[in-house]
Amino acid sequence: MTLRLTRRFVHQLFIRRYASKDSSITTTTTTDSNKDLTTEKSSEISTVKRAFTLINPKTVHEIKRIDDTPIKNEMDLIRHRLTENRVKNIPIETDVLIIGGAIMGSSIAYFLKQRSPDMKVTVLERDWNYTTSSTVLSAGGLRQQFALEENIQMSVYGAEFLKHIRDHLSILDEDPVPISFQHNGYLLCGSEQSVKLFEENHKTQTSLGAKSKLLTASMLKEKFPWLNTDGIAIGCYGIQNEGWLDPWALLNAFRQKALSLGVLYLNAELVGFDKSKRVWADGTIENQLDKALILSADDNRIYPMDSSFFINAAGPWAGEVAKMAGIGVAGEYPVALPVEPR
Ligand SMILES: Cc1cc2nc3c(=O)[nH]c(=O)nc-3n(C[C@H](O)[C@H](O)[C@H](O)COP(=O)(O)OP(=O)(O)OC[C@H]3O[C@@H](n4cnc5c(N)ncnc54)[C@H](O)[C@@H]3O)c2cc1C
């Protein structure tokens, strides 16, 4: 079920690269303005040398060690993967390229790699301090009180995942950094007009395994004597699986685990895509994303990277990333992704 969920999730997020081998198709490269950004020939960056033998070369990217620590066994390798600074080169290709390495990008990377160890997964994150990422700005609240079934299901799953975080995100014998989960129910209050809605939502939540309780105004007053209940007719209080956690710790737990599984994190920014036009036999023209153009924070140069899938996990900048892929661009996919930073 989890695999199906992941696939569905991934399909929603993927900007699918068209990779048809249909002979009725011809591919012509356009003069895309992004191309001007490329400062290195791909032949120059494809000569990456592996400095040590990997346990399973198929499961990890070709990476170059930039220190002299010997790698003797798998434990050493995993510890090394956690020292992300050692990865200096940028591979020329990957199976999945995730744009944005905060909580969404890192958790997607973890789930993909955990289920498909052979898959090459690369995460691009332009700000390793995550100064403006919503993840670290958030209050870290977890609640089950939603109206949409999908939201409730995701939140119930999230709570279950967090309960077993040691099983999921421990590395070797070490527990993940404590996420400091504080149990405390959310209290949502409504006026007379909201009573029916509260009851319907409560029914949906209960049917999906969420634990919350409806309270009348007098029950609210009894339970929360400090609460001014004027105008309040109903309340819904979370009994289980609600509270808040430390988002920075959770982000690091996902990130470290993903690194330990062989996900490659690059301190780099997606600045565009190399595109080509695909002309079908019936004359239809389709745009194809060929390569991601990546600005490396290491040397401030732009590298092209091939990938079968691109995942947009850029948070508030998801609209910008989508635009780079042609979503919201006249003549390509005119309907924009309505997400922008405030
Ligand atoms: C003030 C506040 C409070 C919140 N409180 C809660 C809460 O209590 N509970 C809750 O569940 N949610 C809360 N949220 C929402 C939650 O924080 C977000 O839904 C979640 O963090 C989104 O994660 P993300 O990984 O999608 O985005 P982000 O955390 O924003 O990460 C996006 C990442 O993409 C990177 N990026 C962007 N563009 C590029 C590019 N071109 N190349 C490379 N990298 C790029 C950015 O640097 C960033 O690190 C809150 C949000 C805010 C702002």
Each residue of 93-138: pLDDT tens digit?
899 999 999 999 999 999 999 999 999 999 999 999 999 999 999 9
Nearest CA to ligand 1 atom 37: 314
315 pocket-lining for ligand 1 (C-beta < 6 Å):
yes
In angstroms, the Cα distances linking 4 to 17, 111, 115 are 21, 12, 11
Q: What is the mean pLDDT of residues 25-36?
A: 34
| Helix (H) / strand (E) containing 78 | helix 74-82
Span from the CA of 43 to the centroid of ligand 1 (angstroms)? 36
Q: Whole-angstrom Cα distance, residue 334 to residue 297?
A: 32
Do 329 and 323 form a contact (C-beta atoms < 8 A)?
yes
pLDDT at 73: 64
243 pocket-lining for ligand 1 (C-beta < 6 Å):
no
In angstroms, the Cα distances linking 141 to 45, 135, 182 are 44, 11, 9
321 pocket-lining for ligand 1 (C-beta < 6 Å):
yes
Q: Whole-angstrom Cα distance, residue 265 to residue 121?
A: 9
Reported as a single tens digit per residue, the pLDDT across 47-86 is 333 233 333 444 444 444 444 455 666 666 666 555 544 3
CA 200 centroid distance within chain: 32
Reported as a single tens digit per residue, the pLDDT across 142-157 is 999 999 999 999 999 9
124 pocket-lining for ligand 1 (C-beta < 6 Å):
yes
Mean pLDDT, all residues of the chain: 80
Reported as a single tens digit per residue, the pLDDT across 261-294 is 999 999 999 999 988 777 888 888 777 888 899 8
Do 94 and 62 form a contact (C-beta atoms < 8 A)?
no
Q: Whole-angstrom Cα distance, residue 275 to residue 332?
A: 11
Q: Which residues fall within 8 angstroms of residue 132, CB to CB, at 6 or more apart? A: 341
297 pocket-lining for ligand 1 (C-beta < 6 Å):
no
SS3 319: helix
Span from the CA of 233 to the centroid of ligand 1 (angstroms)? 35
pLDDT at 64: 42
pLDDT at 282: 84
Nearest CA to ligand 1 atom 50: 138
Judged on CB neighbours under 10 Å (0-12, 13-18, 19+), 87 is: buried
| Token pair belonging to 23 | 């002979």
Task: Tell me the whole-structure pTM to 2 decimals.
Answer: 0.78
What domains appear along the chain, each with residue ranges and CATH number? 2-132+263-324 (no CATH), 141-245 (3.30.9.10)
Of the candidates 99, 138, 96, 81, the residue with the CA atom closest to the CA atom of residue 256: 81
Reported as a single tens digit per residue, the pLDDT across 193-243 is 999 999 999 999 999 999 999 999 999 999 999 999 999 999 999 999 999
Q: Whole-angstrom Cα distance, residue 291 to residue 232?
A: 56
133 pocket-lining for ligand 1 (C-beta < 6 Å):
yes
Cα-trace Rg, the chain: 24
Tell me the torsion sign for CA atoms 219, 220, 223, 227: negative
Residue 217 burial (CB count, 10 A): 17
Which residues is 270 bridged to in the sheet?
Answer: 294
